[in-house]
Amino acid sequence: MKKKLILDLDTGVDDAMAIMVALADPNVEILGITCSHGNTPLENVLKNTLRVLKVCNRLDIPVYRGCAEPLLAGKLHAGDFHGKDGMGDVPDADAPGLELLQKEKAVQAMIKIISENPEEVSLVATAPLTNLALAVKLEPSLPKKLKALYIMGGNTESRGNTTVCGEFNFLADPEAAHIVLDCYTCPTYIATWEFSCRNSLPWSFCETWLAQDTDKARFVEKISRHTRKMVQTERYQKELVAGPGFNSCDTYALAAAINDTLVTESEQVAVSVELAGTHTRGMMVLDYMGLLNKKHKAFIMKKIDSEKFKKMLMDALK
């Protein structure tokens, strides 16, 4: 049977790469893509998602409009990193229009799709977790119907990439992240900021990857120019946990969802999110002492098989 996925995205450059990895795997069926605020305002996210699907000739996949703002926090975007439009500020005059969106909204679609496929769907969340938080509040039994949840977000060592201790996706809606980590009791796998840094790939691989003579490779090369330039700045180099390298954060969570053997090391621990700290708001908390009295423990990814990951990326642009 094919692996059934819902992708919850804030489509910027790394989300685009994740979509393309999923579409390249013949054993994966994407049941829907739900969109959220995050890397860029929601209208851009919707346009970007359709753009990626057009490049991959997969506009048959339903795309749903989700939340345009966080539950309580102020809006946060990553225009300096991904470009103001989230995709490197290289517009396409022939990009698909928003009339292709489904009329049903993201949260309702998420609940419906999961309910119609009980214990068969894995949800891959690479955006702020607003859509997921609202879905579980509307349908508390939703996590029991999920096969698994894969999240790109949070941190394990209080290393921030947006504030001193805050990783972008969790910081963009800390209340939503708190709700999701409390309420989603299905098997949960988290690709954190430090994890993605430590498993980054050499720039020499990135050059080979983008040099493939295909329309997909040319598309990714074009939309990622701004981001690749930003990665070379002094500020970003200071954020990196490991040495400099190519780090497509969101793609790690997606790749783990479709390849059970990709992650070679992980640890299981109860997690939560700090909501009130002056410097630590949005930081993921790991409860090694069991003081939170949480029965549910998440799998925190540690290491991957980098050769398998490289192959998945190469296949995505063929």
Convert the pLDDT of each residue in 270-309 to its tens digit.
999 999 999 999 999 999 999 999 999 999 999 999 999 9
pLDDT per position as a tens digit, 133-176: 999 999 999 999 999 999 999 999 998 889 999 999 999 999 99
Torsion angle in degrees (nearest 10) through CA of 137, 28, 39, 273: 40
In the three-class reduction of DSSP (H, G, I as helix; E, B as strand; rest coil), residue 79 is classed as helix
| pLDDT for the residue numbered 242 | 56
Cβ neighbours for 230, distance < 8 A, ≥ 6 positions apart? 80, 81, 236
Q: Is pLDDT above 60 for 214? A: yes
The mean per-residue pLDDT over the stretch 66-90 comes to 91
Would residue 10 show up in a list of annotated catalytic residues for this protein?
yes
HSE of 308 in the Cβ direction (CA atoms, 13 Å)?
14
Whole-number Å distance between alpha carbons of 50 and 64: 10
Task: Spot the catalytic one: 10, 15, 25, 85.
Answer: 10
| pLDDT for the residue numbered 229 | 84
Summary mean pLDDT of the chain: 95
H-assigned helices in 25-58: 42-55
108 confidence band (pLDDT: 50, 70, 90): very high
Q: Is pLDDT above 60 for 64? A: yes
Number of domains in the chain: 1
Percent of the chain, pLDDT > 70?
Answer: 96
Q: Is pLDDT above 70 for 57? A: yes
| Domain region containing 159 | 3-316
Cβ neighbours for 87, distance < 8 A, ≥ 6 positions apart? 11, 12, 13, 16, 44, 48, 51, 223
CATH, residue 213: 3.90.245.10
* pTM for this entry: 0.96
User: Residue 222 has which token pair?
Assistant: 């074009």
